[in-house]
Structure 1
Amino acid sequence: MKVVIKVTLFYLLGIIGILCISVFPQFFAKGDITNIILYFHDLWKFLGNFIQPGSWTYQIEGSIGEFPILKTLWVPFTYSMSILFSAICTAFAIAFILAFFVNSLPKQVVQGIKQFLEFLETIPDLVFVVLLQMLVIYIYNKTGVSLFTLGSYMDDRAYAGPIITLSILPMIFLFKILLFLIEEEFSKDYVRFLKSKGLSKTVILIRHVFRNILPSAFHQSKLIIWATLSSQFIIERIFNVNGLTFYIIESFSPMTIAVSLILLFTPFFITFQLIDLWVDESTTFESHGLAKIPSFQPISCVMKHIKIIHWKKLLPRIPIASLRRQLKNYKFAIGCLFFILTIGGSIGYSIITDNHVDQANIFYEEDGTTIKSTPPHPPIVIRFYWVLIKRDLICWIS
């Protein structure tokens, strides 16, 4: 009963937090961010609308149409979740398989793989996306074989590209974590005891080590999953995936943000809570055959964490010194250099070219959606559309 109350309370607290966050974009758009009373006024007004199911509508700014928000967001939500869960399952499966096979290699090779993984961690998702798209285009130009769709268009949805690129970094992070956990587990006494009984390294790894590192790998995977979810926003934009993030941007209202975040929060919360219960039951110390469930004391837990905060480290001069120390880490330095060059190049290009962007003319069929020709256009198509343009111009002048 305590567990049910605890899970329900945590879920309600999560919903309340989502509702409070959903009002921030509207509050910031008004410009007066120092007026805290205005924020609570907007929050109270939004809560009044949220508890009324009739106000759950999806509306784009400038449009008079209103649609049921759950019905509107459900299809893009399932599309985004299918990509996300496929990427996570792919990353976890590949990471466990690689960890199993790499563990049989010599230690020198394993150390080299760890250093290579540390280098891959510094590469942003955007680089993987660009390289993967360039590879697909290159193979298509050379062989005429299209490995997968590079972007969604109408009913032709892209799956393989977003799933592959979204699974790369989670696979790298989890693979590295598993290597460290396996290495630490093999240094324990029970592994030496099993080796003395004649068990092979493979049997120990499958029957004992993997089972013991699963709880630690699960707790580490929470951060990996949330980082993957944040990366999905960029992946969907690049592959033109009309998923949940597309609809959030189109209607950046508190109601759309709240409902979208609740749809994302609920399945992950339920999944994590169920796995947490399973992990706690399998790892909690048993006394007299009964597992002890830790008591839920939220006030004492919060006070405990407040006491351990190093308040002196929050002084203004400390972050500068901390940044200098972080720059000595080559992974952090490479990541910062990438973003500095990217942002600096973007700013420089905007100043030099006056925000000029090369545009390509795409010719469509009469229905206005089917693409007829893309650059470079055949001469016949160009002449045909030039005749149409001249005809329309003459009619307009006359």
Structure 2
Amino acid sequence: MRTFGILVLEFFLTVIGILLLGKLPYLLFDMESLVVIQKAIDTGKIRNALYLSYDIGLYWEQYKQALLETGKQLSQLKQLTYYDNGYELPVFPMMWDLYKDSMKILGASFGLSLIVSTLLTYSIMWFMNVKVRKVFGTIINGVQIIPDVFLILFFQFLIIYIYRKTDVLLFDILSFNGDNAYLLPIICLSILPTVFLTKILLHIFEEEAEARYVETAKSKGVKWSRILIFHIFRNTVANLFYNAKTLFWFSLSALLMLEILFNMNGFTTFIWEHGIITPEVFIIGMFMLFFPFFFIFVIGGLIVSKYSLNQNEVFV
């Protein structure tokens, strides 16, 4: 487990990185002029800006001024607004509501991945011999390389096909008029993480199955099901947790594509649409993602480190 000092350093470096990244457009572009032009287009004062040039440069003074203004703007969250098609609208409570909806989908898909992958791994280890496991592992490797966007489109077209043949709509395939689709997005977002976790768990379980304590338990007449459930799994908790962290951030990165394809008014699409003209939207959004999950993973790591069992110990 990393020391407390390293964790504090990582935390503050990440916060500084988010602030610097959020204001990066002000370093590379003349954002003050671009914002004025965008507002003029939205209000109809000019029809387009194709005749204007957008040179990339290094606007250090503008960047420094934007960073200095960030602290003041973030200290007044209730008054903070974002720009949208000619209007200045309050960031909260809208951003908070979108955050809760997106986190429900993310959390549900992540939990579904953990449950399904664990049950699938148990079933494979319990009922299949080594040769069949290898074949199943090859199938998993094949599924894992499929881009998540293809899986989402495949399920959407599948639902449409079933609806046309049976007149039964199994799931909402798009969000409409403010009503977000939930069940199908959760399933789609959980597929690749489930495949990834199953692959990792199978690899860990296979290694644990060859450990000395397993052979000792078998020689004492302990049933394979008991060894699998009560001993091998407990010794894989730490590995499962640390791989789950990587998987969580992978799922979070896929959330934006999911919200776009399902036409969802979601948290990540809100950041995507408004985070450049209003960088505070990007900065606050990243803070809302980083702060809670950083502490969750730190606390979870402490618990796992404290209570994970020695892999060479026999529990019979």
Match of 2:98 in 1: 76
For residues 208-228 of structure 1, give each alpha carbon's deviation from its aligned partner in whole angstroms, at most 9, with x where no partner exists. Answer: 110111101111111111111
**For residues 6 and 63 of structure 2, what CA distance do their matches in structure 1 show?**
28
The one of 196, 208, 213 aligned to 2:236? 213
**How many pairs are equivalent?**
283
Query: Does the Cα contact within 8 Å between 2:174 and 2:180 map onto a contact in 1?
Result: yes
Match of 1:137 in 2: 160
Q: Helix, strand or coil: the match of 1:230? A: helix
Query: Does the Cα contact within 8 Å between 2:19 and 2:283 map onto a contact in 1?
Result: yes
Match of 1:257 in 2: 282
Query: Does the Cα contact within 8 Å between 1:49 and 1:55 map onto a contact in 2?
Result: no
The one-letter code of the counterpart of 1:217 is: L
Match of 1:269 in 2: 294
The one of 30, 36, 60 aligned to 1:37? 60
**For residues 61 and 143 of structure 1, what CA distance do their matches in structure 2 show?**
42
Q: From the superposition, tell whether residues 46 and 122 of structure 1 become closer, same or farther in structure 2 (CA, over 3 Å).
A: farther
User: How far apart are residue 121 of structure 1 and its match?
Assistant: 1.1
For residues 316-369 of structure 1, give each alpha carbon's deviation from its aligned partner in whole angstroms, at most 9, with x where no partner exists. Answer: xxxxxxxxxxxxxxxxxxxxxxxxxxxxxxxxxxxxxxxxxxxxxxxxxxxxxx
Q: What is the TM-score of this pair, normalised by structure 2?
A: 0.82
**For residues 226 and 142 of structure 1, what CA distance do their matches in structure 2 show?**
38
- In the alignment, structure 2 segments of 5+ residues that lack a partner are 31-53, 311-316
Match of 2:109 in 1: 87
For residues 161-213 of structure 1, give each alpha carbon's deviation from its aligned partner in whole angstroms, at most 9, with x where no partner exists. Answer: 11111000000000000000000111111111111111111101111110111
The yes-or-no answer on 1:203 pairing with 2:231 is no
Q: Helix, strand or coil: the match of 1:60? A: strand
**For residues 121 and 81 of structure 2, what CA distance do their matches in structure 1 show?**
45
Larger of the two Rg values belongs to structure: 1
**For residues 252 and 270 of structure 2, what CA distance do their matches in structure 1 show?**
16
The one-letter code of the counterpart of 1:22 is: G
- Highest RCO, 1 vs 2 (Cα 8 Å, sep ≥ 6): 2
The one of 183, 204, 207 aligned to 1:160? 183
**For residues 284 and 209 of structure 1, what CA distance do their matches in structure 2 show?**
10
User: How far apart are residue 63 of structure 1 and its match?
Assistant: 2.2
Question: Percent same amino acid among aligned pairs?
Answer: 31
Q: Helix, strand or coil: the match of 1:66? A: strand
Query: Does the Cα contact within 8 Å between 1:23 and 1:46 map onto a contact in 2?
Result: no
User: How far apart are residue 32 of structure 1 and its match?
Assistant: 6.1
Map 1:101-140; keep pairs closer than 5 Å. 101-104=123-126, 105-140=128-163
**For residues 25 and 128 of structure 1, what CA distance do their matches in structure 2 show?**
33
Map 1:311-322; keep pairs closer than 5 Å. none
User: How far apart are residue 250 of structure 1 and its match?
Assistant: 2.9
The one-letter code of the counterpart of 1:163 is: I
Q: From the superposition, tell whether residues 187 and 42 of structure 1 become closer, same or farther in structure 2 (CA, over 3 Å).
A: farther
Q: Helix, strand or coil: the match of 1:157? A: coil
Q: Aligned-residue CA RMSD in angstroms?
A: 2.3
**For residues 279 and 229 of structure 1, what CA distance do their matches in structure 2 show?**
23
Query: Does the Cα contact within 8 Å between 1:23 and 1:43 map onto a contact in 2?
Result: yes
Match of 1:388 in 2: none
Q: Structure 1 residues 69-78 or 203-212, which shifts more?
A: 69-78
Query: Does the Cα contact within 8 Å between 2:27 and 2:63 map onto a contact in 1?
Result: no
Query: Does the Cα contact within 8 Å between 2:29 and 2:57 map onto a contact in 1?
Result: no
Query: Does the Cα contact within 8 Å between 2:29 and 2:59 map onto a contact in 1?
Result: no
**For residues 89 and 212 of structure 1, what CA distance do their matches in structure 2 show?**
20
Match of 2:215 in 1: 192
Match of 2:47 in 1: none
**For residues 181 and 193 of structure 2, what CA distance do their matches in structure 1 show?**
20
For residues 50-93 of structure 1, give each alpha carbon's deviation from its aligned partner in whole angstroms, at most 9, with x where no partner exists. Answer: 453158523225524231x2312011111110000010001110
Q: From the superposition, tell whether residues 17 and 152 of structure 1 become closer, same or farther in structure 2 (CA, over 3 Å).
A: same
Map 1:165-176; keep pairs closer than 5 Å. 165-176=188-199
Match of 1:281 in 2: 306
User: How far apart are residue 26 of structure 1 and its match?
Assistant: 3.9
Query: Does the Cα contact within 8 Å between 1:22 and 1:255 map onto a contact in 2?
Result: yes
**For residues 71 and 92 of structure 1, what CA distance do their matches in structure 2 show?**
32
Q: From the superposition, tell whether residues 6 and 56 of structure 1 become closer, same or farther in structure 2 (CA, over 3 Å).
A: farther
Query: Does the Cα contact within 8 Å between 2:28 and 2:58 map onto a contact in 1?
Result: no
Query: Does the Cα contact within 8 Å between 1:46 and 1:254 map onto a contact in 2?
Result: no
Query: Does the Cα contact within 8 Å between 1:166 and 1:231 map onto a contact in 2?
Result: yes
**For residues 29 and 85 of structure 2, what CA distance do their matches in structure 1 show?**
16
Map 1:367-382; keep pairs closer than 5 Å. none
